[in-house]
Structure 1
Amino acid sequence: MIQAIISSLIAPATGLLGVYLGGVIATKREEAAFIRQQKNNAEYAVIRILCVLDEYAEKCTDVVCDDGTSCGRPAGRTSSGEEFYEPQVKCPEPPVFPSDIEWKSIPNNLTYKILMLPVKARDVNRDILMSSEHSFPPRYEAIFDARMEGYAKLALSALELAKEIRGNFKYPQESTRFNALSDDHRAFLNNKVKEIQMRQGESEVDRSDSARNSEVQETNQ
């Protein structure tokens, strides 16, 4: 009698335990599958993002190398034969990333840095446009300085971001044309920024000295 009662209680409990364990196992499998899918999505997204960043860094560097000359001479020429410096490389459009990227599969801090790069690029293009108001022939120094400095900084941002992404996802530190770890490449870009900033600082000092001299002359008169 007692044995029958115990058996009648154990059977349903065993059934419930089996259902519970089956549910737990199924949930764990779904979680594991979701994690694998997220990882695959992230890795695929990163490959596509790196391709965009590498290409953009190359285009930015091409702008930095453009000094407005062709075969060692000013590239532009007026109808009257006067030479002037003219850009030979078109500024690239801000980087565009594929619209179907699963951004949630990428760490938030990286997503923020990636999506901020096009914003920085648009800011640089606005600065270049504004510099045209203070740029005069034949050299158009303000325009070329804004182009070279702005795009050197953008190239550095793209290269450093690509380097960080490769480090996080353990991809080789390389790009299609410029090695992301190349000291020479980064040094070239950094030196170009410093060169322009130094020249701009010297020009500012010259303008200040000229203004003070003019004030002194007006006072003496």
Structure 2
Amino acid sequence: MTDFFTSSLGTVALFAVIGVGCFGLGIASQSKGQVAGSVFRTRESKMAARNLAMQAVLALDDYVGACYAAVHDVPEFNPADQVEFAFHVPEPILSFPKEVDWHLLGKDLGEEIMWFSNRVSNVESALESLDLSRNHHDGFFERRIEGYARLAVRAMDLIARICGEFELTMPEKPEYYRQAEGLSNILRNVEAAAERRGDSTSAGETTNVTPLFPKTS
């Protein structure tokens, strides 16, 4: 056996065996590297999705707070011109991060967040379309209250869903800051007012009267 490996043929065979072994080790190492890289990318993708989920929750929570303040804000009117008025708090602004892939959160949840942004834009455009010079300001105040209240409730539902799916902690609120209860009361008032008027629209499409503002002549 020793004579074989010391011969020319044995030397060639020995180098062939070594070459095959090295090739096998190279393939194995490459395979391990690919698996490690795949695991790293998966972990990185999960971290990116969780970070985006956190940003969405914070933006939605800020929006809920702004809507809650807006629906409780009583405007001040110009005594000389009742068409002119001013609110005490700014209009709610939805500040989602820009140029992000919402589908990182999953197809359904990502699309729901994009639809929410669209709903916000539609409510804002609808309010801007009203003619404030008409009687009762064209129902602007009632419609504004209902629109922002419904958006806030939907945003709170989205927050709960995102936190549930990504195991995030729900935003903490002082015990006396009962946003859900306050918004629920407002929407009940909206629906009760619609029933009193005998509107033909459904409760989800009502646009008028809450007792937060007295009617103006």
Q: Does TM, normalized by the shorter one, top 0.5?
A: yes
Residue number in structure 2 paired with 1:108: 107
Residue number in structure 1 paired with 2:209: none
Residue number in structure 1 paired with 2:122: 123
What is the SS of the residue equivalent to 1:76? strand
Contact 1:54 1:158 in 2 (8 A): yes
Name the CA distance, whole Å, in 1 between partners of 2:134 and 2:186.
19
Q: Which structure has more helix as a fraction of its residues?
A: 1
% of aligned pairs identical? 17
Give the superposition deviation at 1:7.
4.5
What is the SS of the residue equivalent to 1:99? coil
What is the SS of the residue equivalent to 2:168? coil
Residue number in structure 2 paired with 1:187: 181
1:49 aligns with 2:50: no
- For 2:191, which of 191, 194, 197 is the aligned residue? 197
Structure 1's unaligned 5+ residue stretches are 69-74, 206-221
Name the CA distance, whole Å, in 2 between partners of 1:60 and 1:84.
22
- Tell me the TM-score normalised to structure 2 length: 0.73
**What's the RMSD between the two structures over aligned residues?**
3.3
Aligned residues: 193
Give the superposition deviation at 1:65.
1.1
Residue number in structure 2 paired with 1:158: 155
Contact 1:76 1:85 in 2 (8 A): yes
Contact 1:127 1:146 in 2 (8 A): no
Residue number in structure 2 paired with 1:64: 71
Residue number in structure 1 paired with 2:80: 79
Code of the residue aligned with 1:66 in structure 2: it is: D
Contact 2:83 2:132 in 1 (8 A): no
- Tell me the TM-score normalised to structure 1 length: 0.72
Give the superposition deviation at 1:15.
1.9
Give the superposition deviation at 1:88.
3.6
